[in-house]
Structure 1
Amino acid sequence: MKQKDYHALADQIIKLLGGAENVSFYTRCVTRLRFHIKDRGEMNKEAIEGLSGVYGTQWQADEFQIIIGQDVGNAYEEIVSILGDSVSEVEENKVEKNSLHNLINKMCNTLSACILPVLPTIIGVGMIKVVLTVIGPNVCNLVGADNSTIIFLNFVSDAGFYFLPAFVGYTSAKYFKTNEVLGILMGVMMISPAFIELVESGANMSFFGIPIIANSYANAILPLIIIVWIMSNVYRFIDRFIPASLKSLIVPALTIVIMIPVAFCAIGPLSSVISNYLMQGLLWLNEHTGGFAVAIATSWLPLVIIFGLSGASVTIGQMMLAQYGYEIFWIYPAILFNTTLGVALFAVYLKQKKAEMLPLSITAMFGGVSEPGLFGYMVKNQKALISLMVALFFGGLYGGFSGVKNFAVTSGGIFGIVGTIGPESSIVHAFIGLAISWILAFVLTYYVALKKK
């Protein structure tokens, strides 16, 4: 389809959605345009499905998805050129505003909307990671680790994950209709090298006498989205009282000063405190229930990552490796989770013929990169998420009671399984645990979670 045809397609789509005034929010993912619609009665779903260049549509919770395919980027650019920032804020669901189900749906929709625009980049660097893992010294050994090209590809792909908070800060600010650059700042200040050095040094820190808990927030995606949401309200509140001539000088500065204690003394540390309780709980379970601790730690990994609490399993794993020379809560559960997620996404690909699921599956299975599949699909499909957690529980249960141990820090993809080879080799049991999770995940996803109503 020619570029001018994409403009015509975008124009037709917006008109059939009921016009720009009927769109409250829009974004895109790998193959779809995604819209929040104010009044469904004003749109014409059947007419949209009949447009040349549209391969189908579907409702996903409160989001209307239009399947465009691999050229979705071209269509999205034309949508942006027409709508720009003219859309108003997302209206609340008119039914059961305060119901638990609706609150969960709203949280999932918000989380997904803030993550989806980042997915193409994360998938891209994730695929690079897959290739580097396969051709590197730990698998096929086709290229040495000191190869200049490999070094560059490694640090560029690492940058995609390291600066994920910055990307999400921008997309969150855009979603909450606030200053995008300040949103980026909220993300990068949480991963500032200077702050990380202070954390690693164990220095006592405070802000105007308010103590700051030293912690790493590299994976704290949900806390960051909450921080940007608070920032958007702070920014709007201050903006109301500052004269127009002073807005550009005072509003950003005051917002930043107010958000520092909110981010570093409240929201961020809250995730750290919860992670610490999770860590203590896992250690207690391991002492009193054995394999059940690994099963619980593995099955809850999707939620732990969604809520930015993965520091618990990482901390325990590092402690155990340093003290005993092996660990059970960190690498193997991560491999179980990532590969099983890959299998579940592959089941979605086969069942629903969703082309975008295949790269998500590959990056999870071989690259050990869960974020695209987790935030791009599982967050908004609770049945599939529950099926995944059930599969992880039984795979982790077998791994826990059979004594699977990890003796080295490896990748979170399938090739990381070599880390279970050691003085008390348990790689056979490790593969059996994987097989249990894979089979359960495929069956539950394909026949239960995706069962047509």
Structure 2
Amino acid sequence: MVNNKKKEQYLKIAKMILAAVGDRSNITSVTHCMTRLRFNLKDESLPIDSEVQNIPGVIGVNRAGGQYQVIIGQTVDKVYDALTTVGNLTQNTPIDENLDDNLNKKLTWKSIGNSVLNKLAGCLTPLIPMLIAASMFKMFAAILGPSMLNLVGTSSDLYKLFVLVGDAGFYFFPIVLGYTAAKQFNTSPIVSMFLGGILIDPNLIKIVTAGKAFAVFGIPMNLVNYSSTVIPIILSIWVMSYIEHFFKNHITESLGTILVPTLTIIVMLPIALCVLGPAGAFLGNYICEGILAFGKLGGLPTILAIGVVAAIWEILVITGMHLLMITTMMMVFAQAGHENFVTLGAVAASLSVAGMCLGAALRLKDKDQKTLAWSYLIASIIGGVTEPALYGLAIRYKRPFIGMMIGGFLGGLYAGVTQITAYVMVPVANFLALTAYVGGNTANIINGIISGIVAFIAAAVATYIIGVEPKPQETTTSEIKLVEA
């Protein structure tokens, strides 16, 4: 009976959201992340934000990256399933639309930037589960190995197993990204993965390692090792989508099965290996070296910069701009194996969200609101889901946002002063984010943990002192309760 009641709630929420965004006819595609329904709408002016926010079960709304985002919380997958059912929508597959409409849209720097962010998000977000697993195995090797507990030696099979599994998650980026990029650029996933496999083929690696000149159809190839790279394969799949589309339109179906993939790869070989690959690798290395160099500058500028990143990180999350920073972090970790700037701020910011929840929970007098604040704290510190707290407390009451930024800034400052380094990429926002500092010396992980504690406590204290507004801005307590059901 309980499950049926919940299903009825999800269906009711889905029907109301569907009507609010303009029904099925206005939806180009819809997907979801951990907390949000993400709509691509034909007419973004149809939804009225205040009305959508007042739907029971909706925490808030956001417009970012060309998407209309409805924040649901941890039950978003249930609402998404109900939405695709009542709306007769295809899950995770864009609905065909008139492409001529896109041609008539005015190009602006904002629209171009939004498009780039959307594509990066689509390519990289699906990799997070793999990165979490790979990072955990790298952490196991660091903790159990000689650098910390020294329970297993570097020659033991267990240590070697942990290392190879952890490295594999980053080494095979071109193949995995080939698949996710193909989904974003509407091209063949298998052929895209094949192109990614070509970039890290052992024979190509041998050619690069040997340092001897090599040509692709007579065109000199720059000797680049593409293992653990991000940008080269994404650029290549983007171009490949047009080439494959061209061949599909000009080759009959009877011959297309053989000729389309073959001709596509033939054309892409010089483009990927001689042009886009080296250019993407250069751009990636330039970004990585710049970030690492900035982190190594030391002194007051770097310390303050880390603090600023920590203070504004959750603003970047709300606007979707954090995806650019995450992309940079992925490249740095994949190519350098460590990072000492962006991650420090991101981890401190994540812990400051939990601290804000604690401060708000202790300060709030309304019993229902206090209960929600405690639930946001648990969702953040354990589940790694910060958006309910951001929209349910920070944006809704406004004052807690200041406390959260203060906590993040102070935690970031401590990380900068102690010059800690992140050795493991842990793309989660819960307490496990502190394991990013495992891999260096003992002082590194101790100071890393302290920076998180500083961010947590400072945000809690600041939020408690600053206080919380007595009344919410839009949604009511009864409406948000459905999210927790």
TM-score bracket, shorter-length normalisation? 0.5 to 0.7
> Residues 124 and 67 from structure 1, CA distance in 2 versus in 1: closer, same or farther, beyond 3 angstroms?
farther
Name the residue aligned to 1:65.
69
> Residues 280 and 152 from structure 1, CA distance in 2 versus in 1: closer, same or farther, beyond 3 angstroms?
closer
* Residue of 202, 211, 229 corresponding to 1:193: 202
> Residues 305 and 208 from structure 1, CA distance in 2 versus in 1: closer, same or farther, beyond 3 angstroms?
farther
Cα deviation for residue 266 of structure 1 reads 0.9
For residue 37 of structure 2, give the secondary structure of its aligned residue in structure 1. Answer: strand
Cα deviation for residue 265 of structure 1 reads 0.9
TM value normalised by structure 2: 0.60
| Alpha-carbon RMSD | 5.4
CA offset digits 1:74-129 (Å, max 9, x no partner): 6656767853346136975998x433233222211221122222323323443454
Partners of 2:350 and 2:340 in 1: CA distance: 15
Residues 284-433 of structure 1 aligned to structure 2 (within 5 Å): 306=327, 331=338, 334-348=339-353, 350-351=355-356, 353=376, 419=440
* Residue of 233, 245, 248 corresponding to 2:254: 245
Q: Which 5+ residue runs of structure 2 have no aligned equivalent?
A: 310-321, 358-375, 386-405, 426-433, 464-472, 474-485
Partners of 2:35 and 2:20 in 1: CA distance: 20
Partners of 1:79 and 1:139 in 2: CA distance: 49
Name the residue aligned to 1:100.
109
Name the residue aligned to 1:168.
177
Residues 117-128 of structure 1 aligned to structure 2 (within 5 Å): 117-128=126-137
Given that 1:34 and 1:65 are in contact with CA atoms closer than 8 Å, whether structure 2 keeps it comes out as: yes
1:39 partnered with 2:43 = yes
Partners of 1:215 and 1:58 in 2: CA distance: 44
> Residues 297 and 45 from structure 1, CA distance in 2 versus in 1: closer, same or farther, beyond 3 angstroms?
closer
Higher relative contact order (CA 8 A, sep 6+): 2
Partners of 1:170 and 1:160 in 2: CA distance: 14
Given that 1:294 and 1:396 are in contact with CA atoms closer than 8 Å, whether structure 2 keeps it comes out as: no
Given that 2:137 and 2:165 are in contact with CA atoms closer than 8 Å, whether structure 1 keeps it comes out as: no
Given that 2:231 and 2:281 are in contact with CA atoms closer than 8 Å, whether structure 1 keeps it comes out as: no
Name the residue aligned to 1:88.
96
Partners of 2:67 and 2:288 in 1: CA distance: 36
Given that 2:181 and 2:234 are in contact with CA atoms closer than 8 Å, whether structure 1 keeps it comes out as: yes
1:109 partnered with 2:113 = no
Aligned length in residues = 394
* Residue of 257, 264, 283 corresponding to 2:266: 257
Cα deviation for residue 38 of structure 1 reads 1.6
Given that 1:274 and 1:309 are in contact with CA atoms closer than 8 Å, whether structure 2 keeps it comes out as: no
Given that 1:32 and 1:67 are in contact with CA atoms closer than 8 Å, whether structure 2 keeps it comes out as: yes
Partners of 1:17 and 1:8 in 2: CA distance: 15
Cα deviation for residue 255 of structure 1 reads 1.1
Residues 125-140 of structure 1 aligned to structure 2 (within 5 Å): 125-140=134-149
Cα deviation for residue 291 of structure 1 reads 6.7
One-letter amino acid of the structure 2 residue matched with residue 210 of structure 1 = I
> Residues 21 and 35 from structure 1, CA distance in 2 versus in 1: closer, same or farther, beyond 3 angstroms?
same
Given that 2:229 and 2:281 are in contact with CA atoms closer than 8 Å, whether structure 1 keeps it comes out as: no
TM value normalised by structure 1: 0.64
Name the residue aligned to 2:214.
205
Name the residue aligned to 1:29.
33
Percent sequence identity is 26
Partners of 1:314 and 1:346 in 2: CA distance: 27
Given that 1:49 and 1:56 are in contact with CA atoms closer than 8 Å, whether structure 2 keeps it comes out as: yes
Partners of 1:313 and 1:114 in 2: CA distance: 16
